Structure 1
Amino acid sequence: MRNARQPGIPLRFMVSSVVIAAVAVVAPAVVPSQPSIEARLADDAAGADWAAFGRTYGEQHYSPLREIDGDTVGRLGLAWSLDLPPGNSVTGPLAVDGVLYFAAGYSVVRAVDAASGRLLWTFDPHAPEAAGTRLRQGWGSRGIAWWNGRIYTGTQDGRLIAIDARTGRQLWSAMTLEAGDDRFISGPPRVFAGKVVIGHGGADSGATRGYVTAYDAASGRKLWRFWTVPGNPANGFENAAMAMAARTWAGRWWTHGGGGTVWNAITYDQATDTLFIGTGNGAPWNRKIRSADKGDNLFLSSIVALDGGTGRYKWHYQVNPGETWDYNAAMDMQLADLMIGGRLRKVLLQAPKNGFFYVLDRISGKLISAAKITRVSWASRIDMATGRPVETPGARFPGGHPFELWPGNMGAHSWMPSAFSPRTGLVYIPVRDTASSIGDAGITPANWRFRPGNQPNIAVNLGVRPIADAASDNRSRLLAWDPVAQRAAWSLPTPGAWNGGIMATGGGLVFQGHVDGSFNAYRDTDGTRVWTFAAGAPILAPPISYRANGRQYVTVLTGAGTAATLNQREIPFAIDHRTQARRVLTFVLDGKAVLPKVDPSARTMPDDPGFAPNVASAGRGAALFVHCMVCHGVGAVAVGAAPDLRASAIPLDRDAFAQVVRGGALVPAGMPQFAEFRDGDLADLRQYIRTEAAAARTMPIRPAAR
């Protein structure tokens, strides 16, 4: 079915003329009763549906279904697969009433019959065309939400859209961002008690002040907004929480935005009507620039509890006071009831970027315990009397001297979700064991914006680089963690420095995909691998499980994307944007389907007889390529998120290159427009790409994902 639109409005004009502002609501055809909605999303739901990003309000990423277990998993086979077009496919699907829903690319939502794989409808919001400069950031959609017969998606350009789950027709759209800002949406919305809540990204690339906003799920009417960092005191503060937070900042912080974006983690406690948000890093990262090197800078890198009805502040816990390493607390948070110290505690569990695992009392926000899950160099421990980290001398790189940061700025745990199993009481975490060198030599508040090689208004302003040596190169693990004892139950190495999101099940299994193209099931008690499937493409997305036609299914999406594709050293496999298999894979006991063959042809570097070395021009082009590396990879070595420009003929042709880069010819395909680039800039960029291509012609090709 085609993307639905209002009668008489051409699809190409839909973005500008219809969906930017909230529109009138049309009642959806499917309207379950209110108790049914709550029953699907409650943490004790039976598991027939996977109706939220983490299945339920508590974001446990756990399915209680047991048809597929340690005894039957050997019979697990492919039920069907669905090929997807190029674009981000690292996204979490939903399943409700036997229908599978997912967003791929730039929030293109599809509905599929879960038992047969038959495509029911497609909704395309045409986000790249609407995004403008926001298209230069972000990775596409990580997930969607469901409520009362509607599907909700956020878009790169900042819209929150409600779609009729039965027909794929747009019901309403609301613009959640502000004109001219650097924000964008890549994370999944969450829905609770008739409200849909959404945050945004953008704290790495501009003067961004974070917030989260709640809308009425039926109409799209804005209900409340909570800012995560304070604004200009001269304008007054929105509430007492912002006034309190402002006392932890220094200098003219508001001119830099501050950061603290809610780009991923949101969890809801139905019993207390409390919304927990996980906030991001500072903008800019470096506190010396952002806040005169003073203060805790609330609510950066924090877990903040809000009243679900009003958005009013309840409490917070800050994992990194005065954040300065690109650490954040935007990783998933699970709710659980655990027996600790002889009594049952209602807790919130999180493994943020910084290498510690935290257990908080979710009623009071009090820290119960914290322990390291990986090597940590920036702090020795968490002081239980104060709840604050005991930082290592030199961790804030005094005098600009580089510091070996463990875990690196990409974190010990990224957004790929963990899973908590009520069956075992363990949390299963996709851990990264990598380091970064970090420092700010030569950077001052007066010169940081104009440092050569930085994007305009770049928030990084640090000499950050990955460390690749025998101690830290390309290591990751699947870790089973006991949150009560704060120790590992078991741990398994996984290929590369990135691994996929996790699902635990009532059948005693833990499912996870890997960048080598394998999809795996492990015994939850000891980590023994009991099943594997060769998917033929990397798997970073989180799997789900649900029932359709009376049977248990498991679904996962394949394909590379997100920050994992920045650096080829961290994914030691050849992943080509054009040929990698982006697919929906669905499994069932005794499934007999077979994957279609994919052309394994290796990418080649085209001949470039007109190339002549020019070190100066290539150097200037390398500085400009910082605009490009988010998608096309560090050092122009792409890892699947976008085409490898070294293997493209476009940089060989001056006019074609100008039409794409400056003219925006490929914006609908997701390639941003850089209208500000002059002829000399384009020439230097071409020289850099052609120089890297010339060097690559002599290099061996990495093995492909299996």
Structure 2
Amino acid sequence: MRHFRKAALMSLALAMVAGTTQQCSAPRPAEPYLDGSDGKDWPGYGRSFGEQHYSPLTQIDGKTVGDLGLAWWFDLGPENSATQPIAVDGVLYFGVGHSIVHAIDAKTGKLLWRHDPHAAEAAGPNLRLGWGSRGIAWGNGKIYTGTQDGRLIAIDARTGKEVWSVQTFDKNQPTYISGAPRYYAGKVIVGFGGDMGKVRGYVTTYDADTGKQLWRFYTVPGNPADGFENKAMEMAAGTWSGEWWKYGGGGTVWNAISYDPETDTIFLGTGNGYPWNHKVRSGGKGDNLFLASVVAVSGSTGEYKWHYQQNPGETWDYNAAMDMALADLTIAGKPRKVLVTAPKNGIFYVIDRVTGKLISAEPYTKVNWASKIDLATGRPVENPDARYPDGKTFTIWPSSAGGHSWQPMAYSPATRLAYIPVINAGMTIRDEPDLAHYKPPLDRSSGGSFIPDFDVKDPKQATGALVAWDPVTQKKKWSVEHPTLANGGVMATAGGLVFQGTVDGSFKAYDAATGKTVWSFATGTPIVAPPISYRVGDTQYVTIITGLGTGLAMWAPILSRYNIDPRSQKRRVLTFAIGARAKLPADKHSVQPIAADPEFAPNPASAAAGAVIYMKHCVVCHGFGAVSGSHAPDLRRSTIPTSPEAFASVLREGALVSGGMPRFEEFTDRQREDVRQYIRTEMQKGRAGTR
């Protein structure tokens, strides 16, 4: 471990103060990003370096929230809108769809500028992978956004003009950027996503003013024959087996990054492996560092400091890429500087952020893959059946959707509670048939090597909750149950409130101490994004962006009760303030009928072949059985599959690429026709009422 002297800390603090500028290039301190700042601005994804998703503003509290009303709204286009805004100096910024960044006057809702990097057109085959932008960052008078095709772009926050752009990964790799870059100490750090083909994870840090690369840290080792980048990779290689590098290994940092300015430490939340199955990826041997881990590195150099691995030999898509909040707690009578996180595997971890030592770990939702976490070793005591041995199946909790996904939790230093948007869902898991001869695909189609089976027809098997969790006692303080798993990210405030939106179109404020609902607003459209709060003049605002993201398409049967139509779904920026009285228009929520197809003729063999292709390439966006309740259109309600020419223009020619629909030019005429037959068969079932 590296030890820091007082003088070094003082130098770091002075460097932070001198290292940022205002939009007009005048000196601006780093206070907006400090956990203890006044909360006027919300400059980054978690507001602060510590990613607490907490606002210290108090104008909106338990006494005044009843007078909270809509100040203005801004209608968006058909882009994926599951994204969080930021706010600096009275301007609201956000990126929707494929990183189309908007700047809006936060008081009036007036559009100031719009920057479209045309990422969908530039992404090529990688358009098949991502979910669109989930967040952006501000720093040094610039907005930083990542794109589907792997660019990190700096935009002048005042004018909307591009300042610089760098390519962060090889575009031939099956990767993309959906998570928010993070700004710190005059630098910008960004990772990427991708577990659908050959990928080796890493993060890269750039100079915030010039885009010059400063350092890169890989999260899994490469081919030993090529040598190792550092001692950390040499150490990690000893925990892998076989020829893992041929498949990349995975471990992408696609979401969670936190920063501690006191020790100049960056904390990385790493992803699962590729291939998913440990038996395929590493012959069932070794811990496979640094998959499913919290990794601490120097913010200045990228030098490794410590790691804690949550799932050694990860084999369930249990990545550790969920947000990590930094907190100061008193544990066993002693002050501790900690990192708290509620990752996919259903365990809430409290980790000493200086040493990396595990302090405590307890389940925050139903968990059956392990009986406990051994605090002496830091390792889980696994249920042997959870690794689905010898061709057996196992119903595992949580599912690979996680007990908590990317929608952020919040941590309140006032209540000292974490507020988690919990997913309660399990899945049945088993090996691919003939695993000994299984070859992981490298073509952006599937992580493969285990087969998950979600019981999407039973609503009781997929519910959600907002859970208030005490990190010191490791116990639930209170919970609010939700009827479905698809719910929004969370924000806590010093006003004693917790805000969250839900898929049923409700945006609510809860008493942070008790969980009692104290305010509610009917948005008329689903919410999965987290809200933010900020101040302009003397007024505190709360902003939320409505609309679903692509990844929920697989849960469309459970969401069907809400009659969500991707075509008519309203995607909006909603901003609230005390005493505001704006009213949303009376929207008509008409679900488009299933398209007529008078020339349809059943062909079970062709439909069965098309189902295989559809499940491999299409289900993640368009849903099981072509039933979509998310962002991508419900294909049963489109006339395009009824026409072979129109279908070919989309899949072969890329007629809808600019709208986010990738081309599949490698499909043969026969394959394309089989997929079309499968969709038309599902359309027929829908018309007959059997789907």
TM-score range, shorter chain: over 0.9
Instruction: Name the counterpart of 1:704.
Output: none
Matches of 1:634 and 1:195 in 2, distance apart? 42
Question: Which residue type is aligned with residue 507 of structure 2?
Answer: F
Contact 1:260/1:300 (<8 A) preserved: yes
1: CA distance between counterparts of 2:33 and 2:680? 52
Letter in 1 for 2:527: I
Q: Give me the whole-angstrom Cα distance separating, in 1, the residues matched to 2:454 and 2:666.
A: 30
Distance 1:29 1:41 in 2: 16
The reply to whether residue 539 of structure 1 matches residue 527 of structure 2 is yes
Matched residue of 1:567: which SS? Answer: helix
Distance 2:458 2:80 in 1: 32
Distance 2:552 2:412 in 1: 26
Matched letter for residue 460 of structure 1: G
Residue 676 (structure 2) pairs with residue 686 (structure 1): yes
SS at match of 2:544: strand
Which of 346, 364, 376 is equivalent to 1:355? 346
Of 371-380 and 438-447, the range deviating more from structure 2: 438-447
- Residue 115 of structure 1, CA deviation: 0.6
Q: Counterpart of 1:566 in 2: which secondary structure?
A: helix
Other structure's SS at 1:162 match = strand
2:177 partner letter: I
Match of 2:551 in 1: 563
Aligned partners of 2:476, 2:340: CA distance in 1, in Å? Answer: 15
- Which one-letter code corresponds to 2:677 in the other structure? Q
Show the counterpart of 2:651: 661
State the partner residue of 1:6: none
The 8 Å contact of residues 576 and 603 in structure 1, kept in 2 or not, is answered as yes
- 1:657 alignment partner, SS class: helix
Q: What is the match of residue 71 of structure 2?
A: 79
Q: Write the distance in 1 (CA, Å) between the matches of 2:141 and 2:669.
A: 51
2:592 pairs with 1:603? yes
Matched, 1:30 2:48: no
Distance 1:132 1:468, change over 3 A: closer
Instruction: Check conservation: 1:449, 1:456, Cα contact below 8 A.
Output: no
Q: How does 1:282-361 map to 2 (within 5 A)?
A: 282-361=273-352
Match status 1:624 vs 2:616:
no
Residue type of the alignment partner of 1:30: C
- Where does 1:34-433 land on structure 2 (aligned, <5 Å)? 34-35=28-29, 38-203=30-195, 205-433=196-424
The whole-number CA distance in structure 2 between the counterparts of 1:238 and 1:457 is 30
Conserved 8 A contact 2:349-2:361:
yes
Q: How many residues align?
A: 669
Mapped to 1, the partners of 2:614 and 2:170 lie a distance apart of 28
SS in 2 for 1:479: strand
**Secondary structure of the equivalent of 1:594?**
coil
The percent identity for this pair of structures is 57
C-alpha contact 1:30 1:148 (8 A) present in aligned 2 = no
State how far apart, in whole Å, the 2-side matches of 1:358 and 1:168 are. 40
* Residue equivalent to 2:501: 513
For residues 212-233 of structure 1, what are the alpha-carbon distances to aligned partners after superposition, in whole Å with 9 as ceiling and x for unaligned?
0000000000011000000000
CA 1:115 to 1:635, structure 2 compared with 1: closer, same or farther past 3 Å? same
Q: Quote the offset at 1:576 in angstroms.
A: 1.3
Partners of 2:111 and 2:432 lie apart in 1 by 54
CA distance in 2, matches of 1:636, 1:455: 22
From the superposition, tell whether residues 606 and 569 of structure 1 become closer, same or farther in structure 2 (CA, over 3 Å).
Answer: closer
CA distance in 2, matches of 1:333, 1:435: 24
Partner letter of residue 329 of structure 2?
L
CA drift at 1:179: 3.7
- Distance across 2 between alignment mates of 1:673 and 1:463: 26
Aligned partners of 2:268, 2:63: CA distance in 1, in Å?
Answer: 39
Counterpart Cα distance in 2 of 1:606 and 1:617? 20
The 2-side partners of 1:471 and 1:52 are apart by: 35
* Structure 1 stretch displaced more, 602-611 or 331-340: 602-611
| Structure 2 residue aligned with 1:23 | none
User: Which residue of structure 1 lines up, in the alignment, with residue 569 of structure 2?
Assistant: 580
2:475 is aligned, of 487, 490, 505, to: 487
Would the alpha carbon gap of residues 145 and 326 (structure 1) be closer, same or farther in structure 2, given more than 3 Å must change? same
* Structure 1 spans left out of the alignment, 5+ residues: 1-26, 702-706
Letter in 2 for 1:555: T
C-alpha spacing 1:529/1:655, structure 2 compared with 1 (3 Å): same
Query: What is the Cα deviation at residue 565 of structure 1?
Result: 2.7
Amino acid at match of 1:62: Y
Residues 1:289 and 1:473: Cα distance change in structure 2 (over 3 Å)? same
Shift of 1:44: 0.3
Distance in 2 (alpha carbons) for counterparts of 1:479 and 1:555: 22
- Determine if contact 1:288/1:445 at 8 Å carries over to the other structure: no
C-alpha distance in structure 2 between counterparts of 1:61 and 1:436, whole Å? 30
Partner residue of 1:9? none
> Cα 1:29–1:97, aligned 2, differ >3 Å: closer, same or farther?
closer
Q: Displacement, 1:465?
A: 1.1
Amino acid in the other structure paired with 1:606: A
Counterpart amino acid of residue 126 in structure 1: H
The alignment status of 1:446 with 2:434, answered yes or no, reads: no
Contact 1:443/1:461 (8 A) holds in 2: no
Q: More deviation in 471-480 or 131-140?
A: 471-480
- Residue in structure 2 matched with residue 615 of structure 1 by the alignment: 604
Instruction: Call closer, same or farther: CA 1:592–1:547 in 2, change over 3 Å.
Output: same
Measured after TM superposition, the shift of residue 407 of structure 1 is 0.3
Match 1:644 to one of 628, 631, 634:
634
* 1:445 CA displacement: 4.3
Residue 575 of structure 1 aligns with an amino acid whose one-letter code is: I
1:578, distance to aligned residue in structure 2 (A): 1.3
CA contact (8 A) 1:86 1:578 kept: yes
Measure, in 1, the Cα distance between the counterparts of 2:23 and 2:249.
43
Residue of structure 2 equivalent to 1:476: 464
Q: Secondary structure at the match of 1:651?
A: helix
User: Matches of 2:61 and 2:555 in 1, distance apart?
Assistant: 37
Q: 1:247 to 1:570 in 2, by over 3 A?
A: farther
- Root-mean-square deviation (Å): 1.5
Instruction: Give the CA deviation at 1:29.
Output: 5.3
Output the amino acid matched with 1:55: R
Query: In 2, Cα distance between the equivalents of 1:302 and 1:74?
Result: 42
Letter in 1 for 2:243: R
Contact 2:149–2:171 (CA<8 Å) still a contact in 1?
no
Over residues 229-280 of structure 1, what are the superposed CA-to-partner deviations in whole Å (9 max), with x where a residue is unaligned? 0000000010000000000000000011100000000000010000000000
Q: Which amino acid aligns with 2:103?
A: A
d(CA) in 2 for partners of 1:172, 1:469: 48
State the 1:386 CA deviation.
0.2
| Counterpart-to-counterpart distance in 1, 2:77 and 2:599 | 34
Change beyond 3 A, Cα 1:700–1:623: closer
Q: C-alpha displacement at 1:446, in angstroms?
A: 2.3
Match of 2:10 in 1: none
Q: TM-score, normalised by structure 2?
A: 0.95
Tell me, yes or no, if the aligned pair for 1:159 and 1:175 is still in contact at 8 Å. Answer: yes
The range that moved more, 602-611 or 388-397, is 602-611
Letter in 2 for 1:375: K
Deviations 1:73-96 (A, max 9, x none): 110000000000001111110000
Deviation at 1:457, TM superposition (A): 6.2
